[in-house]
Amino acid sequence: MPGKMRQMFAGDQSANLSDAQLAAVESAAARGFRIDVFEAPALTALAANLDATTVKKSLAFLGTGLGRRMVEADIALANLDEAAIDKVTRGELAAPSTPEREALFVKLERAARSTDSAVQIYLSIARALAIGTAIGGGMDPIAADDRARSSADAAAREDLAQRMREPLRRYMAYGYRELSNADLRGLLAFLESRAGERYVNAYMAAMSAGFDAMGRRCGEQIGESWRELAQARRAAPARSTPAETSPP
């Protein structure tokens, strides 16, 4: 994430950020995008969006052989490094497939709401970064929030979803490459059940809350670092100006 954040800020040509400012972004991302920042708000949101019946049925599914294989695949996928993830999403690294299997992944992506979740996470991070950076820099966070909201209208969300959908299907297909077609149909049956739908919605809420917290923490760190850099630049000329002396 630190490298991705630096690339994102460096890509904003209108900002014309210095190397020191970009280094501050990378450092802030390392401090903000941490599991201890993510975990508490994510678990709180997960609990708030689950009911007893959904928990019971979800745990029953996760305790099956298929459920355990799904979790193992999810963990392995989460542990891929950024270079491998980029290759997977571009289609350069892929598992063998068939038309039947591709059709199953289209249905799974829709049932798991993978694209909806990714779009929501992306927009949550962008909004949290804007607010956090404003707070850290001593600016108006409400104005920053308004600007972030205006850039996340329905058209922008749909455009983002269209660009994310196919890479996310590739990502899911690669992650579940060891699952059989029967496994995929069993997973789809759970996700399309009432308990599965509630589980997916709770998962989305948890991811959004966790990434929002990390994005805001990162933004605050960026704002504080940029403010310190600006103060140092303003102080530098004063320190370098020689003291006035009276003529002999």
Average pLDDT for 132-159: 70
Q: Which helix (H) or strand (E) holds 169?
A: helix 154-175
| pLDDT at residue 197 greater than cutoff 80 | yes
- The percentage of the chain sitting over the pLDDT mark of 70, rounded to a whole number, equals 86
CB 57 within 8 A of CB 192: no
pTM here is 0.76
The pLDDT assigned to 229 comes to: 82
Given this model, what pLDDT does residue 216 score? 85
pLDDT value of residue 6 = 77
Q: Cα–Cα distance between 199 and 111 in angstroms, integer?
A: 11
Instruction: State the Cα–Cα distance between residues 168 and 113, nearest whole angstrom.
Output: 10
pLDDT-based confidence at residue 177 (cuts at 50, 70, 90)? very high
Instruction: Tokens for 149, please give them.
Output: 């909201």
Question: Which tens digit of pLDDT belongs to each residue from 83-126?
Answer: 899 999 999 998 889 999 999 999 999 999 988 888 877 777 77
Whole-number pLDDT of residue 157? 73
* Percent residues over pLDDT 90 in the chain: 45
> For the chain, what's the residue count?
248
> Is the CB of residue 130 less than 8 Å from the CB of residue 145?
yes
Q: What pLDDT is recorded for position 148?
A: 66
The predicted pLDDT at position 192 comes to: 95
First to last CA, the chain: 61
The Cα–Cα gap between 92 and 69 comes to 25
More confident residue, 14 or 142: 142
Given CA atoms 229, 150, 49, 58 in this order, what sign does their dihedral have?
negative
Lowest-pLDDT range of 80-89, 150-159, 192-201, 214-223: 150-159
pLDDT number for residue 247? 46
